[in-house]
Structure 1
């Protein structure tokens, strides 16, 4: 995990599905859990979704707040 990865979580929108257009950091935990069970997409999006899932699962969403305020 790098700082640019965290910045992408608060700027990149979900490109498809039920939550299309929602910022990845704003995806609900149950949706991230569902993606984890079904399989994350390939590439950067999947990597970022997996990172957000880990952050949500471990109660670390608050770490993204300073990045939100910066933007």
Structure 2
């Protein structure tokens, strides 16, 4: 059985892309507070690429996997 490997391009986007709107506009997606990601999870993630990235960040956070992003932040 193969173990699932994260897509490096998606992880790179999480540490480089900034939130384009709202209370946390211009904050890197990887630095968004978990409470904001939880709000999106309850209310619905935006459509498209941004929604996929926010949902990915939410899953990373709730599963305690933020260490995956540390090497990419440097």
- TM-score, with normalisation over the residues of structure 2? 0.91
Give the SS at the match of 2:45: coil
Q: CA deviation at 1:62?
A: 1.3
Q: CA RMSD in A?
A: 0.7
Structure 1, unaligned runs of 5 or more: none
Q: Which runs of 4+ in 1 moved over 3 A?
A: none
Query: Where does residue 59 of structure 2 map in the other structure?
Result: 54
Bigger CA radius of gyration: 2
Query: Where does residue 17 of structure 2 map in the other structure?
Result: 12
Aligned length: 69
Structure 2, unaligned runs of 5 or more: 1-5
For residue 35 of structure 1, the aligned residue among 40, 58, 69 is 40
- TM-score, with normalisation over the residues of structure 1? 0.94
